[in-house]
Amino acid sequence: MTTLRLTPCMELIYARLEVPSPQNAASNTFRGPRQFIPHLSSLRAKLTRDLETDTDRHRSLHWALEALPYCLAANYNALVTFVEVQADVIERNAQGLRGGTILVLSADQTDRLNFAIDAFLETACRAQNTLSPYLRRTLRRDYADSLSDLIKKLEKGPVRLPDAIAEILVGYWRTHGERLRHYRDLSQHFALVASESRIFLAEDGTPGSRLLLPSNPEVKSNSALSFGKPPIHAQHYLREQFLKLYGILFCVTKILDQGLPGEPKQFSVAFPRVPLLTGERTDGSRPRVRPV
């Protein structure tokens, strides 16, 4: 069995989230990032309890609510994948380097890091938008599907939220969320968001990696992109964005859960998208045993 080796970045993530790391916790105590918001199961149960006799509405709401834990878990997975790939790239290329030497990695090796960055940006922006169905169902009002549109309406005045929630969301958007969406838009419509990846040896002989994101992701011109003024190190940025995003999802859903009556209850209902009926013929793809 392969043992997961944690980098300082990964240890910090586990420590900040107060979740036991795989190296010092039994497998039955760490089941994955869906544990990061333990009260979410109670909130989902409260939001769906009066729909038990209305199967269609219950199914529709269930599928809308499950996006939040899924997207947060996907975002965490993208972050961990980036950290692991970066550690692997360093290990593969640092041998034989001398002090003061800088190695520019090949496009293939940098692409492995970019894949994880793209996945992180996409899942982070999806996670930003997953609060909307929780707000609509709890507060019984029609809110925009995206956090970007919700913030615009909050700032213009026609939409109201409880003060505590509005303060959290607007503060997050102004300090982190909007810039994160700029990076995502840049990656989707204009250019690769990361610079070339470089491996180097520090003065003490420790190998390291330098991978920068643009300092001005809000520009809509590839030629205007600037790297290093100031330097935005990819791993540091992704880690910070995950923690900030996780924080608002946790706090807003906690406020909603505490504001609803009823005892905490575990959410266990499932609606398969393609029900498998007894006696039904199953068709699907089969993995190739030998290459053709």
| Model confidence at 41: pLDDT above 80 | yes
Positive/negative CA dihedral, 33, 34, 37, 39: negative
Q: Which of 2-16, 49-63, 165-179, 190-204 has the highest mean pLDDT?
A: 165-179
Q: Which amino acid is at 278?
A: T
Query: pLDDT value at position 23?
Result: 47
- How large is the average pLDDT for residues 275-281? 52
Residue with tokens 């006799």: 53
Calpha distance 233→211 (Å, rounded): 6
Longest Cα separation, the chain: 70
Q: Kindly state the percentage of the chain with pLDDT values over 70.
A: 74
Q: At residue 16, does pLDDT exceed 80?
A: no
- Is pLDDT above 50 for 135? yes
Whose CA is closest to 194, among 248, 115, 269? 115
Strands (E), 102-226: 102-104, 198-201, 207-210, 212-214
Tokens of 3: 């043992």
Q: Cα-flanking dihedrals φ and ψ of residue 104, to 5°?
A: -90, 120
Residue of 279 and 191 predicted with greater confidence? 191
Q: What is the mean predicted confidence (pLDDT) over 71-91?
A: 90
Return the axis-axis angle of helices 147-156 and 163-172, rounded to nearest 10°.
Answer: 120
Q: Is the pLDDT of residue 26 over 60?
A: no
Confidence of residue 160 (pLDDT cuts 50, 70, 90): confident
